[in-house]
């Protein structure tokens, strides 16, 4: 462990529910992947409600690189919003809640540096904690978005959920995230907080990429 690393702060705004002596629900690890505008954060809302019903307290984290919405994450339609703690790593989980009564959400997992999500593997293997890890599987070039997905799959997740949006150019399901060429720096894969993206199906994504050449 890096002795110079700062502990991950305990959010003062944990989404709490009284335990009242009731045993927590069984620990699970769920990975949610999909393009932008695929209602991934809406899935988070349902998962949080499920954890509350199981008498777990929920802590939500996001990468400090993501400066959208301050210390929150929210759905694109504004129906759901959660307080979220921006962090750079998970080397030291400095939490006062018993691990067996804790549920952790990691949003925008693709923006964490390589290796950071592996730090959660150690916690997950030793402790009865539920995890929900959410991110984009591909960048705007249809390439794997970093190493985050491989890292979390090493946690042997209980569930892997593939969310799809609606293609902006046809009625098909969208699997990819495209960028408006006049808005996005072509050197960047995906820019946190930018609205210059839209969901496309595979066929429309390939056509979009050909048109962008």
- The pTM for the full model equals 0.80
- Residue 1, pLDDT above cutoff 60: no
Phi, psi of 209 (to 5 degrees): -70, -40
- pLDDT bin (cut points 50, 70, 90) of residue 94 is low
Given the DSSP bridges, would you call strands 173-174 and 165-166 parallel, antiparallel or unpaired? Answer: antiparallel
Least confident of 37-41, 51-55, 121-125, 209-213: 121-125
Percentage of residues in the chain with pLDDT exceeding 70?
A: 73
Tell me, what's the pLDDT at 8? Answer: 52
Mean pLDDT of 52-64: 87
- Residue 199, pLDDT above cutoff 90: yes
Tell me which of 108 and 68 has the higher pLDDT.
Answer: 108
- Residue 35, pLDDT above cutoff 90: yes
205 φψ region: left (φ > 0), alpha (ψ -120 to 50), beta (else): alpha
Q: What is the pLDDT of residues 14-32, one digit of tens each?
A: 444 444 444 555 677 899 9
- pLDDT bin (cut points 50, 70, 90) of residue 11 is very low
Residue 131: count of CB within 10 angstroms of its CB: 22
Q: How far is CA 118 from CA 112, 161, 182, in A?
A: 11, 20, 36
- pLDDT bin (cut points 50, 70, 90) of residue 69 is low
* All domains of the chain in start order, with CATH: 29-164 (3.40.50.300)
- Nearest in space to 53 (alpha carbons), one of 78, 91, 23: 23
Mean pLDDT of 181-197: 58
**Close Cβ partners of 212 (under 8 Å, ≥ 6 residues apart):** 181
Q: What is the pLDDT of residues 97-156, one digit of tens each?
A: 777 778 899 999 999 999 888 887 666 666 678 889 999 999 988 999 988 998 888 877
Tell me which of 69 and 129 has the higher pLDDT.
Answer: 129
Q: What is the pLDDT of residues 146-170, one digit of tens each?
A: 889 988 888 778 889 999 999 999 9
- Residue 208, pLDDT above cutoff 80: yes
């Amino acid at each position: 462990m890096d002795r110079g690393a700062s502990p991950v702060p305990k959010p003062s705004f944990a989404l709490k529910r009284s335990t009242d002596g009731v045993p927590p629900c069984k620990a699970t690890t769920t990975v949610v992947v999909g393009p932008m505008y695929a209602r991934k954060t809406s899935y988070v809302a349902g998962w949080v409600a499920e954890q509350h019903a199981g008498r777990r307290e929920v802590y939500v984290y996001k990468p400090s690189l993501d400066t959208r919405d301050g210390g929150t994450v929210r759905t694109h339609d504004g129906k759901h919003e959660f307080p979220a703690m921006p962090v750079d790593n998970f080397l030291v989980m400095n939490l006062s809640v018993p691990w067996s009564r804790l549920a952790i959400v990691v949003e925008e997992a693709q923006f964490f540096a390589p290796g950071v999500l592996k730090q959660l593997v150690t916690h997950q293997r030793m402790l009865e904690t539920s995890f929900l890890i959410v991110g984009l599987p591909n960048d705007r070039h249809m390439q794997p978005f970093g190493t985050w997905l491989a890292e979390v799959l090493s946690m042997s997740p209980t569930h892997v959920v593939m969310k799809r949006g609606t293609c902006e150019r046809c009625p098909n399901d969208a699997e990819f995230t495209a960028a408006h060429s006049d808005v996005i720096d072509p050197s960047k894969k995906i820019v946190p907080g930018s609205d210059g993206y839209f969901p496309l199906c595979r066929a429309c994504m390939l056509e979009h990429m050909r048109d962008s050449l």
